[in-house]
């Protein structure tokens, strides 16, 4: 067995108003270390659809898989449940680690409104978009403004109903690591409690 075959594969699950390319800066050094990395490119339409795409992505990896979720991606890796036998562990990076009966919308409503979501635009099809000022100034506040405006221009909207989807009983006890931030740069309450042991070098 060569070194690459002995390492776990890594599947990234992105957050809202983004796609898998947001993990590019993590993928480059991990690939250099011999890890197979793939980002799930789901459409933010519903938890069920996004979980289905993630399962298809996991199926492309031969080795045991570490799932890495950020923000909404935490909901997706939690909702996979037991129907992903080659998953070896979960990593939540400032992600929603929902318990049964919780929804992202309900969690967000427990704290003060996020500045990034203050002027959310819901179109006629029920998809939510961030206006440019809020995207650049709050959602991507730690990004160079020129790049942040490009990110705003290519943002992937989400179905607003996805924020209200309640987590079912899918959760099982995979080994997991949760990386906590006191508050996201967008001001949201998407932080999680640190627990577990690191599974991969970061």
pLDDT at position 36 is: 95
Confirm whether 74 is domain-assigned: yes
Confirm whether 151 is domain-assigned: no
Residue 81's CATH number: 3.40.50.1820
| Cβ atoms of 11 and 38 closer than 8 Å | yes
Lowest-confidence pick of 8-17, 85-94, 179-188: 179-188
Confirm whether 142 is domain-assigned: no
Residue 49 has pLDDT above 80, yes or no: yes
Residue pLDDT, tens place only, 160-179:
998 898 887 766 556 666 66
pLDDT at position 147 is: 93
Confirm whether 89 is domain-assigned: yes
How large is the average pLDDT for residues 65-91?
A: 88
pLDDT at position 188 is: 40
Tell me the C-alpha distance between 63 and 36, whole Å: 9
Q: Given its phi and psi angles, is residue 187 left (phi above 0), alpha (psi -120 to 50 degrees) or beta?
A: left
Whole-prediction pTM value? 0.83
Place of tokens 């069920």: 48
Using 50, 70 and 90 to split pLDDT, how confident is the model at 2? low
What residue numbers bound the domain in which 38 lies?
A: 3-105+165-179
Residues 6+ apart with CB under 8 A from 195: 176, 177, 178
DSSP string of 109-131?
A: TTSSPPGGGTT-EE-TTSEEE--
Q: What is the CA radius of gyration of the chain?
A: 17
Residue 10 has pLDDT above 80, yes or no: yes
134-to-18, 93, 108, 117, 156 alpha-carbon distances in Å: 15, 22, 17, 8, 15
Confirm whether 37 is domain-assigned: yes
Mean pLDDT of the chain: 83
Lowest-confidence pick of 109-113, 150-154, 181-185: 181-185
Give the count of domains, the chain. 1
Confirm whether 8 is domain-assigned: yes
**Alpha carbon 98 to its chain's center:** 12
Q: What 3-state class would DSSP assign to 158? A: strand
């Amino acid at each position: 067995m060569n070194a690459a075959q002995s390492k776990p594969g890594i599947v990234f699950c992105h957050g809202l108003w983004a796609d898998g390319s947001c993990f590019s800066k993590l993928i480059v050094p991990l690939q250099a270390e011999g890890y197979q990395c793939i980002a799930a490119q789901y459409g933010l339409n519903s938890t069920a659809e996004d979980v289905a795409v993630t399962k298809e992505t996991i199926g492309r990896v031969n080795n045991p898989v570490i799932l890495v979720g950020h923000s909404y991606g935490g909901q997706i890796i939690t909702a996979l449940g037991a129907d992903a036998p080659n998953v070896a562990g979960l990593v939540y990076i400032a992600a929603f680690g929902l318990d049964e009966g919780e929804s992202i919308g309900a969690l967000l409503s427990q704290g003060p409104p996020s500045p990034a979501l203050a002027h959310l635009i819901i179109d006629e099809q029920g998809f939510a978009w961030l206006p440019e000022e809020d995207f650049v100034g709050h959602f991507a506040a730690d990004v160079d403004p020129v790049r942040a405006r490009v990110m705003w221009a290519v943002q992937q909207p989400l179905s607003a109903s996805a924020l209200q989807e309640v987590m079912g009983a899918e959760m099982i006890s995979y080994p997991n690591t949760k990386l906590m931030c006191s508050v996201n740069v967008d001001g949201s309450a998407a932080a999680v409690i640190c627990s577990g042991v690191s599974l991969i070098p970061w």
